[in-house]
Each structure stands twice: as structure tokens, then as C-alpha cells.
Structure 1
């Protein structure tokens, strides 16, 4: 006798929206929900498996027997199976036993489960994501933190390897322990946001979380859903935003996951030219299937709503948008117009951005990891764009790291690698990423990408950071880069925090801390960071000296900063053209002794009222070696040393 009772959470309108690809809160319907039927408490289960012959719930409550608890197919041909099982409660382990059209029995974990076991064939857990939040003030005001006119400095981290307990394998800190350690550090360092590499459930540690099986489940490696919510809550209470990596691009072929979910290509595209990723050996979502679009956009809504995420960084957008991504000629099929754009994926991304911004307004932000020159990614959908809030500036990253690898004698031949970004930096809303991808797989840590002896390496990296923080756009730095992690990132162990016992590493950390504060304090760095009015080159072509001079401008006419970069290891006296009536004071010097620099003082020592660099007046500045200097425009000649004002 079947022990499952009939029950439903779906209305006809729910089914209509689901089939149209317009249901964006499926997590309120699908999965396992605690309900009451005729005064009896139990769990309602529902799952989408349109090509199944039979679906039953198996678990530790019925000895994993597929004959006892058979779900009922809905009458409306939606492909949904559902039912109510009495007396089940939180913590029950379960899967769906799905009999395919060919008689094969597949045991699948629940795509909408809120918790999973932590093992390779993980079962789902009946769970809840109820949590009493205490971040109302942050939520009400976070639009001020995510606007394009606000400073956005992101610290990217992998929860499993930022810090570990005794640095042992799998000795992960709990989300709550991480909160205790992380929040004081972020506040002290001055970052405005953190970005967590994927926190969704994944079976394989070396995937770093990018091969997701439980799209609605916080990974149990670090605790419960409520533990993760506590971490986010505490970050918000301390005025720190939270961006989550989100992976709607692909999923692994694990037997308990989405692959061949009901024996058919249900979530993945059935054509392997569109449905299989040759690099990652994973499966690509079928973006043309409405029910899949509802699943994915609901998933985005889920993390923004239930977990109070302030933004989603969308992984691998380039692979989603291009039919020929990592494919040779003949291995992909052009779209109906003969091009290589995946039109279904583009439409999905437009609908995703439209939906989340409609729901949350500008209080959240979506960020595309996209490495091609795909047009109008961060332009509104109603203007023909894809609708993202920002895009990673991958071209800037490649050019910048390429330049800093060059020998000093060769830099003049590569001078314009550092100016080229100004040709396109206002085409999109850019975030400059020095991310985890740049410090793995034999690429070397950032400090060992730099040229020269130890002092020169650190001086180079300090100046690179000055260039990054003073360049238009939001900022992103991967954990460990702020203090000069010497080894490549290793996801199996903690960062090398002991390096901070050495002055050069502590000095670099002090520099990043001060750059975060100056970025947040000086409105000229962020008010117009996505507007052409916010930037002006003074000297972009001094190849022989490897010197760069540019201005950053705020909304007020007198809110102007000058940045001077000396990319050779020698002190020079440098003449710079400025406007009449302006005076300048040094407020930051990356060669300061507190940053483990040589201590050369870059004071302004001469003003001349003669035309220079197309300006009516000039100043002369002593430039420290391999250093970045920031000057503020002042109204009088009283030069005060403000270089320590940003230290808290």
C-alpha cells in the first residue's frame, strides 16, 4: 500500500509560469516542505521528472525501499510528481528513486534540497532555511554601497583555505568560526565587500565549488544553512557587502545530480555541441527550455532573497554566450543567423538580469566574468544590452600583469599596455580583477610574477596596486595577494599567514590597507569611476622614463587627484604640466618606509608659470623608484603631509 498522500503546493498559475519560464520562486514549491494535512504534520515532496515512469521517495525512514512511498504525477502534464508523507521531520535523509522510460532506476538527490550529505553519493536532507535576520539597517541602505558611484573594493576568498583549524586536510572552520576571524580582518583592511567562491553544495574539493550538484544547498563542509546565514548577517551588521559566485553555466555528471535526471537530457541540452563542455567535462544547461530557465532564475532569486546576498558574480559567461567556446571547426553549429552567439543563453541572461533587478532594484549587483569583447554586457536590456551591473575587466588584467613581468629595459617597448585600457574603459561598467585564476596552475603568485630582486618585486607589486586602486572601476583582490603570498594558491591548506612576520609582507599589507582607505575617503576615485569625466591623461607617452601621469576627478570641480607612476628602479626629478591656479600636495607614496619602501620623499619642490604638457603651468616632483604617488589639488600653497591620514 502506498504511504504517500495526495497534496500540492502548486496553483494553476504556478504551473503556467513554470512552463513559460517565468516562475522565479520555485524554491517555495519544489523540494521538501514541512506542512500539515488534516491536522497531521509531515513533509510534502515535489520533483520535476516529465519522462519518468514512476517516482518514489527513498531514505533512511523506509530503508531506501522504492516501493513504499510513490509520488503522484500531476494531471496537467507539467511533469511534476508530488505527495505528502506523514511524520517525517528535519534531518531525514532522502532521494528520489526515478524509474526511466527504459526501466532503469536512478537515485537522484533533490535539485531543490536545502542541505545535502557531505559525501560523493550525497543524499538530500529535509531541512529549513528559516533564520531570524538582524541586518535590516544594512538591507535598507545597501543601495548606497552597490551604486556605481560608491567605492567597491572586493576581497575574494575560498572559505576552505582562507584559514584552517591546525592547517589539517578537511579541518575546515565552521561558517561561524569564519565570521569571528574574517570580519575583524576585513574591517581592519578596509574592503567594502567580500566575494565567496561558490558556497553551493559540490562533491569534488578540487573543483573549488564550480562543479555544483546542490544548487539550493549551502555546502555542509562549513556548517548548516543557518551557520552561513549567520556569517552573512554578521558581515552586514559590520557594514560589509557579500557577493556570491553563481554558476549557471554547467554542472557535473555525478550519478545523484542533474545529469540524465529522469533518464533523459532534462536539464542539459541534448545536442552535445551545446550540452557538453569539452574543457570541464561537464554538462551545459538547456537555456532554451522554459522549465530550466525557471529553475536557474529561481536559484538566483533564492540566494539573493533567503541568504540576503548583495550580489552575484556569474561564472563563465564567455562559455555561455559563445557556441564555439573551446570547440574546433566542425564541433559547433552556428545560430540561425550564421553567427557564434548562443542566442538562447543570451536571452536567458537578459531575463535573469531583468528579473533580479526588478525584484531587488539597485540594492544588488550582478557581475559577469566575461573575457571576450561581447558588446553591451552592462547596458540595460531595454537599450539592447544584457543587463549586468558590472563586468570583470579581463583585458586590463592580462595587459597589466604582462607589463609587470617585463624587464626594466624592455618596459619602454610595452609602455602602452598600461594605457590601452583607457581606450575602452567606459564601454562597460568594469571591475578590475586580480582573482584566484591568476595564482594557480603554474601561473605563480602575484609577487613572483614581478621582475627583479626581492626589493624590486615588492616595489613593483606595490606600484601595481596603486595603479589598480587609482584606475577607474571597481576593485577585486584575491586572498593572500594583499600580503604577498609567495606560493601559488593551494585549496587544501591555509594561507601562509606567518609571512606577516617579515617586514616586506607586512609593509605590502599596510599599503593595501591604506589604498582601501584612500579609495573610500577620496570621492574623486569613485564618484565618476564609470564616467568619462572622471579621468584625464596628463602624460601617457613617456616611454623612455616609463612614467605615467593622470588625473581622477570627482563631481566637484576642485575635487581632483593626480597619480604619478614611476616604473623604473631609479629616482628622477619629473616636471608635470598643471592648470593655472592649482597647487598640489602629496597624500600617498608607495615608497614610504612603512610599506617597506626606500623612504624617498616625493615632495613638490618647484612651480613654474610656463606652458608645459599642454598646460599653462608646471610643477616638479621627486619621483621615488618603482613607486606610485598620489597628489591632491589644493587651493593654497601650504603643503601638508597627509600621508598618514588614512590609517585607522
Structure 2
């Protein structure tokens, strides 16, 4: 009897030797799902946030926590002078669950609280693991949970919003550094100042970083301490909900960076040693520590941990109406060695004993849960290993992500800019690197994200222009280095966006070539916020060259969005001329032509096409983008036969050096 092959394997014959491993992953995930749900749906299982944590009841309050190693737990706070007492002592239930009922007048909205957890040999203060509001004292810098039960909960204006089927054009943002002042900015400021900007620029998805509470601001939100608490440093839960609600009113989906790959080691405000044991949430020993991140790694095989993490997904989707997630650190989760020091050059690397089957099971369950709650929600994997099937459906043998990040694209551009002069750039290699992906998976393409903007690295514009950014960005300051940088910045972003394998991402400020790196306040910079902000005024200053890049990005994104270009699957190469450095490709009705030649312009350059009429819809050489207006954008361009009518047609174009054109094929009026 012929063995059933998952569709993932049917689509790729090179996966046939690993069909058994792929099938086993499917079986393990199904088995774990049945084990934890008992026949219910994952959505019914992932409701821990409705049971655990603090809740107002008809008679008062109830708080529950899971701490199986604890011997006693006391609730302490501003309502009892932070002193342990019998009336605030938890009762022990089955399976390590602790519960406390209080009268309505024993605590109130705004009160601060924490747990005093006792175990056999010690005790310690703990922020409840399921706390939904955590605040930091400005003077002592200590964290505490806060009772958050306003009399008038937020009322959603767009409660039925659903992300459309259009391809994601993602604006990656960080609330705290989204403003221009050297301080932490707020949810309200992002809503008032950034949402209109993002909408006007044509992006249809916002990816918010650093939402779950994290004790160290400089971690960029990647060392999470309280997984159910929206960071209070940016404002209140209602203010975050209003931000998301108004984005929905604009037709913009909002996803968040979800960090389930690890947790901060902190014990008071984190999950480290929560009930006196390291193994409550995390693995014991080396498996439970990330050597490069100084953090703890979750035990994805433990049902209580799965309950915690899957409930966390459900919480953000239902309570805040987020439209999905970008899962951080997927590579670290997939491999026992966290993907460190592996080149991932053969399929063996994806299907050997180094792969953590508990993590692959978790991803299948998480992605299945997301679709049960919101079928239109996005699920994106940040993975640098390129595991086959990562962004293939669970039914086909994949892990169920909608997209994976095309992390090789920014690496490719950095390598090109750093290691090769302009005359060494190969257009064929550019096209291959930008379009190379598995046919059954979609990717989020990007030229640069927040990773490339961090201190210690450089953005594309900084690599192209370097110190001239500080001295020659006024329009009355001619500079050939700046001219080259601006020209290539536009071309690189256009090539990346127009070939994107389903979605495109930009980090805020990169679209106009933000001149400063990101460096959060820390001891090494005297706790300065000067580099943890975005200087929007320079993008809007008509005397500076930054606005050329800003205006170009706006038109590029609007063109892609309005014409749904990324929803057209094939990117068909039309021309690759390595000596001339000219590249042309079609995507639907749109023709993209690039002349990467640094010095040579071409007159009447022939692009081989079928018969047709074209009009220019975007031109990097336009004066409004800092170009030289060398191309006539007003006229129509017709293909012409090389000999007779049945011979090869060519579109004859003037291609200035370091420019790109986007032309749209239009109907030729029929002669009556």
C-alpha cells in the first residue's frame, strides 16, 4: 500500500526522504491537541485569561494563580499596607491552582498589588503571571500589578472589523520612539500623529513592537516579563484599544510582535523562579536557557505552559482585537541549539535530531488557534533558517504560518553595498535574490527593518551616504555621494517591494532615510533618549532632501496598494543584461525597468515585449523625488516590431543611469 504523502512533500520531491518526519510532526501535533483539549476546540481550551488573574465578580473580586510548588500565597498591596494577613491568604485548590475571594471594598480600581509566594525553603514578592496591568514606580523603579477595572470599559466603534484579503503592506512601528521629542511617547500620540501618516502613505497593516510589558525599555520589548499586560509606559489599556479601534476605522489592521520564544530572567516582575522552581514554565538545565539572549526558554511540552501561551494569543486577539502576530525568535524555538552556528545549507538541517518537535507542535497549535478565533488574522514567522513548510498550511504538512520574513533580502542588500562597487552589481543576482522562495509559501520582503536601524548596524541610507547625511542634505548643497545614495535608495526599495512574495515591510522612518540609528537609553549613553525617536520634521522640510525619499515611498506604496500588485503571483523576468546592468520584469499589467549602471544612460533601449501600449506611472528620476526629470512621463509608449508585424516587438525607452521606471500596460483603442 502506497504511503500517504503530505502535500508539502508532493510539491517538493526533495522532501521525499523526510516524508516520515513531516508526517510524524502532524501526528504529534494532533495527539497533543487531543490531549490538552479533551475533544474541545483550541479556542475553548485557550481561555485561561478568563479564569486566572484578577477579575471583578458580582460579590467582589476573585484572583487565581498557578503555582504548584508554593506552600502559601498572600495578596499584598496598597489596600493592606503590603502586609501579609489571613484575610488576604490564598486557598490551595487542585493541580497547583491558588484562589482568593475578596469583598468589593477590599480593593479597588487603581490599587497596586503583588503576591508574596512562599515555598519550602524561601519566599519572594511576585507580580502575578496573569496580571493584565503592571506599572513601574518612577522613583523606586519597582514594578507592581495594578487593579484595572474602570467603571466605563472601552466601547469599540469598529467591533466587527476584519482584515481584507489584500496583501499586507506592513508599517513596523514602536510607540515609545514614534515621536520627535527625546522621551517615551504614548499610545495617544501614536494614534493622533502616526495613524493619519500611515494611512496617507498607503500602508494597510501596522506591526507594533514592544507591547507586552518588559522591565528594560532598551530591550526593544523582546525581554517580556508580563505577557498579558500592555506596557503601561505608553499609556492605559483603553488608550491602546482606542489606537487599534481608530486604525480599524481607517481600514488598517494592527498586528503585534509576539515573543513566545523566551522570557526575561527577572524573578519579581517576571516568571523566573515564580513558585520557587525554575521548571514551572521553563526547562531545567541548559535547555532552559538561551546562551545568547540571557533569558529562559519555555517548556512547550508542558500542558500548563501551552495553556498559558495559547491563552495569551487568545487574549490579545479578543481583548484588544489585534489582527494577528509576527512571532519573534522562531529560529531559536525550532532548534535545540537555537539555530546558532548553522549555515542551513541542506535539507538535513531541517529534519534532524536538532529540531525541537515540541516547538513544531506548538506552532501548529498556535496557528490553528489563531484561525479559529479570527480566520482573517495574520501569522508571520521571523525565521532565518528557511525551514521548508514553515509558511505552508497545517493540512499540507506545514507549520501554519501565513508568511515568513524574507530575512535574506536585507542581508543581501547589505552585502552588495558593503562589498561591491556599483559596476560589480549583477542584475541577474539581484532578481534571483529578490524572487527566490518556495512556491507554496508566502514571504514578507523588506529592504530593512528595525534590525538594520539599531546601533551597531547601519541602515541602507547610512551605508550609501554615511557622514554626508549630516552635512549635505540641504537642496542647496550639491553632493555626488548624496545623489548616488538617494538614487539607489529609491531603486533598492522599489525592487524589493515590487518583487515581494506576498507582503512588504518598512520600519518607521526608514522610508525617508532617517539619519540617526536607534539607541535606547542605557548606561553607556548616559540614559539618553536622543536616538530613541523619529525626526519627522526633516521628512516634511521642503528645503531638505529627505522629503524626496518620503514622497517617493508614499507614491510607491500607494501604487502597489491601489493596484493590488502583490496579489499577482508571477514575477516574470523580461530582460537581464549584465554588461549594461539593465533589468526588466513584468507583474501583471506593470513593467518594472531598472538601469543600475552608475555612469551610462541608454537611448531607445529595447525591452522585448508583445504588442502593447504603456504609460509611465512611477519614475525614480522625477524631479519631485530628487531626480533630474530626464524621462518624459506624459507621453504614451508603444512597442514597435523589429521587422514585420509578426516579428519581436520592443518597447524603446530612455533609461538614465541609476534610475527605475514603472510602466502600466493600457488598452489600445480599437479602430472602428
TM-score (norm. length: structure 1): 0.85
**SS of corresponding position for 1:356:** helix
**Equivalent in the alignment of 1:92:** 111
Match of 2:652 among 608, 620, 627: 620
**Equivalent in the alignment of 1:520:** 561
Mark the CA change 1:17 to 1:59 in structure 2 (over 3 Å): closer, same or farther: farther
**For each residue in 1:335-390, what CA deviation from the matched residue of structure 2 results, as whole angstroms up to 9, or x when unmatched?**
9x8511111011001100011111211x2111111111111111111211000111
Match of 1:227 among 231, 239, 246: 239
CA contact (8 A) 2:560 2:566 kept: yes
Matched, 1:50 2:62: no
Mark the CA change 1:373 to 1:178 in structure 2 (over 3 Å): closer, same or farther: closer
Q: How far apart are 1:15 and its partner, in Å?
A: 10
CA contact (8 A) 2:605 2:655 kept: no
Tell me the distance in 2 between the aligned counterparts of 1:549 and 1:444. Answer: 29
**Equivalent in the alignment of 1:548:** 583
Tell me the distance in 2 between the aligned counterparts of 1:346 and 1:372. Answer: 14
Q: How far apart are 1:23 and its partner, in Å?
A: 2.3
**For each residue in 1:299-355, what CA deviation from the matched residue of structure 2 results, as whole angstroms up to 9, or x when unmatched?**
0111111101112111110101011126579xxxx99x8511111011001100011
CA contact (8 A) 1:444 1:487 kept: no
Q: How far apart are 1:605 and its partner, in Å?
A: 6.5
CA contact (8 A) 1:193 1:242 kept: yes
CA contact (8 A) 2:464 2:485 kept: yes
Tell me the distance in 1 between the aligned counterparts of 2:205 and 2:518. Answer: 21
Matched, 1:497 2:519: no
Tell me the distance in 1 between the aligned counterparts of 2:660 and 2:427. Answer: 18
**SS of corresponding position for 1:252:** coil
Q: How far apart are 1:615 and its partner, in Å?
A: 8.2
**Equivalent in the alignment of 2:473:** none
**SS of corresponding position for 2:84:** coil
**Equivalent in the alignment of 1:633:** 665
Tell me the distance in 2 between the aligned counterparts of 1:537 and 1:490. Answer: 40
How do residues 53-132 of structure 1 correspond to structure 2 at under 5 angstroms? 53-68=71-86, 69-74=88-93, 76=94, 78-86=95-103, 87=105, 88-102=107-121, 104-119=122-137, 120-128=141-149, 130-132=153-155
Tell me the distance in 1 between the aligned counterparts of 2:43 and 2:305. Answer: 7
Q: How far apart are 1:410 and its partner, in Å?
A: 4.2
**SS of corresponding position for 1:136:** coil
**Equivalent in the alignment of 1:463:** 491
Matched, 1:157 2:173: yes
Unpaired runs of 5+ residues, structure 2, are: 1-34, 343-347, 466-479, 521-528
**Equivalent in the alignment of 2:5:** none
CA RMSD of aligned residues (A): 2.8
Unpaired runs of 5+ residues, structure 1, are: 1-12, 554-559, 639-648
Mark the CA change 1:387 to 1:121 in structure 2 (over 3 Å): closer, same or farther: same
CA contact (8 A) 1:268 1:275 kept: no
How do residues 238-387 of structure 1 correspond to structure 2 at under 5 angstroms? 238-256=250-268, 257-325=270-338, 339-361=353-375, 363-387=376-400
CA contact (8 A) 2:133 2:230 kept: yes
**SS of corresponding position for 1:450:** helix
Q: How far apart are 1:287 and its partner, in Å?
A: 0.6
Q: How far apart are 1:151 and its partner, in Å?
A: 3.5
Tell me the distance in 1 between the aligned counterparts of 2:587 and 2:418. Answer: 26
CA contact (8 A) 1:56 1:66 kept: yes
Match of 1:567 among 577, 591, 596: 596
Paired residues, number: 589
CA contact (8 A) 1:574 1:620 kept: yes
Q: How far apart are 1:280 and its partner, in Å?
A: 1.1
Greater alpha carbon shift after TM alignment, 601-610 vs 319-328: 601-610
Q: How far apart are 1:588 and its partner, in Å?
A: 1.0
Match of 1:449 among 458, 463, 488: 463
Q: How far apart are 1:268 and its partner, in Å?
A: 3.8
Tell me the distance in 2 between the aligned counterparts of 1:53 and 1:503. Answer: 65
**SS of corresponding position for 2:263:** coil
